[in-house]
Amino acid sequence: MIRYLNSGIRRFGSTRIEPHSRSNWEFYAVVAGRCGVLLSSGDKLPLRSNCLWVFPPRHVHGWHGERRHCSIVVVHCGSVPRQLAEAIPAAGYLEHEITEPELRQVEELARALEPDFHEPTSLSGLRFDRAIIDLTLLALGGVASQSPSSAMRRTAEKVEAATAWFRSHLRSQPAMEEVAAAVHVSPSHLRRLFMTVRGQSPRAVFGNTQIEIAMRLLSESDLKIESVAAEAGFASARDFSRVFSARQGCSPRDWRRKLPPPYAEPATG
């Protein structure tokens, strides 16, 4: 699910962005001009043009530039494909030079996503997923193709199994201990596995899963808010509304009202 989308001109030479962390995965492309990563240590990395960066959640960084402006595209999302998560190097982020046709592809991708991001429909989730896959393929263009180690493959499989088990038991609101037991690891080890593969804690990944399922139900069914909350594993409609509003900036009912028929809820007088 895409959480943030922005593009346009930046003047980092006169107004640099101080290092700070983001709560989601970040795709950041400079499609015209040049800019560079500013690290938490204060180090300024070299200016780059025609470049796509990928930062995992909680990576602390900012941006600096030159007197001339640059043009950028930024996409934040809750999760990325496993292949990309595993490709993040020891530096903590991925940097890849992209071609002119690929730059135009990134710009077109951002333009195409704008309507879905501001006025989501029942198909928006599919287009978000496709965009994340397209960006992932671009980012991995600079990574040598290689088979993952057996240890990393087992780690990823364990994470996928835990996520699948949680998703299939949502209605019973399983505790973290239950999820860990289902895949035969301790809760602390489960957290380490998720941080290695997803760059997020199990609780964060499972929370994203609940919201994504709830959004699909809101857009693809006429279930009442109470039923959506139960299907997505929330203890009550109140808890669901509180979490949803914090994530999306509006209540589930207001979010659904923005959808086209047949599931848009009419405003009450």
Kindly report, residue by residue over 25-60, the tens digit of the pLDDT.
Answer: 999 999 999 999 998 887 888 999 999 999 998 899
Residue pair 127/113 in contact (Cβ under 8 Å)? The answer is yes
Q: Does residue 119 lie within any of the structural domains? A: yes
Mean pLDDT of 208-232: 91
Q: What is the Cα–Cα distance from 28 to 17, expressed in whole angstroms?
A: 13
* Sheet with 51-55: strands ordered across: 2-10, 70-77, 25-32, 51-55, 94-97
Residue 210 pLDDT class (50, 70, 90 cuts)? very high
Q: Does residue 265 lie within any of the structural domains? A: no
CA angle 35, 37, 42 (to 5 degrees): 125
Kindly report, residue by residue over 103-124, the tens digit of the pLDDT.
Answer: 999 999 999 999 999 898 888 9
Mean pLDDT of 130-145: 83
Same-domain status, 137 and 225: no
Same-domain status, 246 and 217: yes
Same-domain status, 8 and 117: yes
Same-domain status, 131 and 178: no
Q: Does residue 67 lie within any of the structural domains? A: yes
Same-domain status, 43 and 129: yes
From 108, 142, 176, the end of a domain falls on 142
Kindly report, residue by residue over 65-97, the tens digit of the pLDDT.
Answer: 998 899 999 999 988 988 888 888 877 889 999
Kindly report, residue by residue over 158-184, the tens digit of the pLDDT.
Answer: 899 999 999 999 999 999 999 999 999
Same-domain status, 137 and 161: no
Task: Quote the strand ranges of 78-167, DSSP E.
Answer: 94-97
Q: Does residue 242 lie within any of the structural domains? A: yes
pTM confidence score: 0.57
Q: Quick count: other Cβ atoms within 10 Å of Cβ 68? A: 11
Same-domain status, 179 and 128: no
Mean pLDDT of 184-210: 88
Residue pair 25/199 in contact (Cβ under 8 Å)? The answer is yes
Per the structure, the complete domain to which residue 229 belongs is given by 150-257
Same-domain status, 33 and 131: yes
CATH number, domain containing residue 39: 2.60.120.280
Same-domain status, 181 and 165: yes
Question: Residue 193, Cα to own-chain centre: how many angstroms?
Answer: 18
Q: Quick count: other Cβ atoms within 10 Å of Cβ 120? A: 22
Angle of the 124-139 helix axis to the 202-220 helix axis, nearest 10: 140
Q: What is the pLDDT of residue 229?
A: 94
In the chain, the number of structural domains is 2
Strands 94-97 and 35-39: unpaired
Residue 266 pLDDT class (50, 70, 90 cuts)? very low
